[in-house]
Amino acid sequence: MSMKKLTGLFAAAMKKIEAVAKPTLVYAHCDVPCGIYEANTMTMAADTVNKMVEKIVELKAPGADPQQHRDFTNTVVRMTLTKEEWAQKCKQELLILWTDYFKDEHLAKFPDLHAKVWKATKLCSQAKRTVDLNVARQLKEAVAEIARIFAETKK
Amino acid sequence: MIFSRLFPFSIHIVKGHSMQPSINESDRVVVFNWAYLFSQPKSGDVVVFRGSDGRGYVKRIAAVTEKGEFLVEGDNKGDSRKLPPVRRSAIIGRVVGKY
């Protein structure tokens, strides 16, 4: 049986099924919820970056055994990859709030908002480049501060 | 849509572009409504859920929050805007096929 015939049979069968079980619409866009923002994702992302840095710092150096060396390298790569991904996600979430959510009235109430977002996004990049507990903590604090401002604007 | 859960499968027509390239506008998706009877939704699952406006949405689960809610997003990052976290009870089922 040719592929064309099979496709035709499938389409006919699905048409019959759809006649009985009417398909309903589901939306792959955000008509109504558009404009609804949250700060959970960036907070979780910053926490993840911080946790990964803590874990990398806590890792014990491998001994002379080649297998220990391989396992160690594998663990470091996995943790660094996770750090990289979540630092990028954190930056992306910060930029969404900055470009799409925060408005002039928010800026009037929090005049240093631009500087704070700029600093936090810079810290995301710094957290990618380094394994530095201080940077990771600063990122967590900077994101928490923007989350606090976000919450304030919702009151 | 609430009655969907009485049946193991349901079919839905997709409207919008936020799930491209995985799912295109006007695609039909087949949803397994009993997918989470004995298991929890996880990151990466494409799910149909009821939004706060009562309409059905199709999105991919990006992460699970500490409160056990689900952060969802579209595959088309250029057309995917922020949605509030989705509660477990709002999830209708998992997308298992499309045509």
Chain B CB contacts of A32 below 8 Å? 51-53, 55
Among B3, B24, B25, B57, pick the best mutation site for testing chain A contact (most A Cβ within 10 A). Answer: B57
CATH number reported for the structural domain that contains residue A90 in this entry: 1.20.120.400
Displacement of CA B43 from its chain's centroid (Å):
12
Q: Do B16 and A27 touch (CB under 8 A)?
A: yes
Q: Is residue A143 part of a domain?
A: yes
The structural domain count of chain B equals 1
Alpha carbons B54 and B49: distance in angstroms, whole number: 9
Reduce the DSSP state of residue A95 to 3 states and report it: helix
Q: Do B51 and A96 touch (CB under 8 A)?
A: no
* A29 in Cβ contact with B16 (< 8 Å): yes
- Record the tokens describing residue B32, joined without a space: 């397994």
Q: Domain range for residue A123?
A: 39-154
* B33 shares contact with chain A (CB less than 8 Å): no
Q: Do A44 and B65 touch (CB under 8 A)?
A: yes
pLDDT tens track, chain A, 155 positions: 677 787 778 878 888 888 888 888 888 875 444 556 788 889 999 999 999 999 999 999 998 999 999 999 999 999 999 999 999 999 989 998 898 789 899 999 999 999 999 999 999 999 999 999 999 999 999 999 999 999 999 88
Nearest CA in chain A to B28: A23
Q: Is residue A43 part of a domain?
A: yes
Q: For residue A48, what are the CA distances in angstroms to A42, A73, A79, A117, B3?
A: 10, 20, 10, 19, 39
* B88 shares contact with chain A (CB less than 8 Å): no
Q: Do A32 and B29 touch (CB under 8 A)?
A: no
Alpha carbons A148 and A143: distance in angstroms, whole number: 8
Q: Is residue A68 part of a domain?
A: yes
* B74 in Cβ contact with A28 (< 8 Å): yes
B8-39 as b/e, with b when 16 or more CB fall inside 10 Å?
Answer: eebbbebbbbbbbebbeeebbbbbbbebbeee
Nearest CB to A28; choose among B17, B82, B84: B17
CATH number reported for the structural domain that contains residue B26 in this entry: 2.10.109.10
Q: Is residue A22 part of a domain?
A: no
Chain B CB contacts of A33 below 8 Å? 51-53, 81-84
Q: What is the pLDDT of residues A59-91, one digit of tens each?
A: 999 989 999 999 999 999 999 999 999 999 999
Q: Domain range for residue B15?
A: 2-98
Q: Is residue A4 part of a domain?
A: no
The structural domain count of chain A equals 1
Q: Is residue A31 part of a domain?
A: no
A105-135 as b/e, with b when 16 or more CB fall inside 10 Å?
Answer: eeeeebeebeebbeebbebbebbbeebeeeb
Q: Is residue A2 part of a domain?
A: no
Alpha carbons A37 and B35: distance in angstroms, whole number: 28
Burial bucket for residue A61 (CB in 10 Å: 0-12, 13-18, 19+): exposed
